[in-house]
Structure 1
Amino acid sequence: MGWLVWGNQETIWTLSRGVVTARLSPRIVALAKPKKDFSKHQCRLVIGARPLLEDFGFPSDRLLKLSEPKKYQAAYLEQRPHQSPEWPVSPAALRYKASPRILELAQPKKLHPDFLPAREVPTRVANTPALVRASSRLQHLAEPRVRKETCCYEHSFLESVIRPVSKLAQQAIASPRTLELATAKRLHPDYVPLRDAAWPVTKAAKHAVTTPRLVELAQPCKRPTMDLARFNPDAFTVKETAKKATCSARIQELACPIKR
């Protein structure tokens, strides 16, 4: 009696001794044999040779009947929603004559009288503007402004400035409204700045001793791996006791966010 090898991977559930040492019946051995490949024995059509007789045969009445598409039942057509592309129409609806109001509503919406269609992309230019020649002044104004690649303007002062300021701008006096707009926006009176990443720890916190209850709550929840949990339908169920639990006043107080 040999030992049965189940591939090169471990199984999810451990196999019993009886399953591992089971003997195969002749029927299972016969079913385990792979199907033979008869593709090499098939007759292929040779170009220029005589075609097979099956190509010229006509289907029988039985094949024609089986090839017809399946018809829908009347009960299914009545219960089918109107979103379907096809649904039965009653004879009364087929013989119905639309009223003048329905015919009026069926007319497509007309365009606005002031609507102008999109103009063609190649705009036709008249012969007169096409023959006009631009003056020297227009050509001078059409030239792009050349700027030097520098962050400072050319000046004759000793100190370097980014751009020159006129004397009128230097002697201008700001109005009260301008001074009001120039003031920076103040922070909210209840604004609390962000706390530093590191802050001093009190002596009481350094000498604190954790209770057995805190140590128990600090332990992480042990759950099975996802490879095993996905095969268990009750892996993520919630207990009935947890559904009926009521939060205490202390838990509600701890659940409130910190106000800053």
Structure 2
Amino acid sequence: MRFVWGNQETIWTLSRSALRARPSRRIVALAKPKQDFSKHQCSSRCETVIWERPPLVNFGFPSDRLLKLSEPKKCPSAYLQQRPRPSPEWPVSPAALKYKASPRILELAQPKVLHAEFLMAREVSKFAQEAIASPRILELARPKRLHPDYVHLRDPEWPVTKAAKQAVATPRLVELAQPCKRPPMGSVQCNPDAFTVKEAAKKATCSARIQELARPIKR
């Protein structure tokens, strides 16, 4: 019989030698299922800290230490003595139950009244919803446009032209680019003649205007 696609037998009978065969140690080792290493690990691939409970734990009784630790936290005695009421719920006194509100309390209990000229939002009519704007309204609805001669601001960063890169500075530019030369601070601070008064200043006479300005302000 010629085997073609569709007439092959997927399950065939085993031979007697195959039924009596004994697997070797290697085949037995390979036949074991793959160990699931993530069974006792968390998502971080670390071993879990949850222990397996022995069967006698469910039938055990807690110790005195566990019973003491399981008690709720107690409030300090000073707080219990200073608190206004022993419980957040307290009975209402008969006087409060029979109390009659005053006219002022009844006035304050009234809900806020709307203004006399208050009008509810009216519905937009169907004609207003289907209205077509006139050319004048469309012209007024346009945003403000810039002037035709308006020049936009230049970008703070722009490419340097090739001519500017190859430009040669003139002697005047080189002269202006020189830093200002000042004497060192050490020589200025140590100048012995810094506080000497000139002979011409000693013999000078002030003018009438200077004398007038030198007078103190009279208050």
Give TM-score scaled by structure 2 length: 0.30
Larger CA Rg, structure 1 vs 2: 2
Report 1 or 2 for greater relative contact order, CA contacts < 8 Å, sequence distance ≥ 6. 1
TM-score by length of 1: 0.26
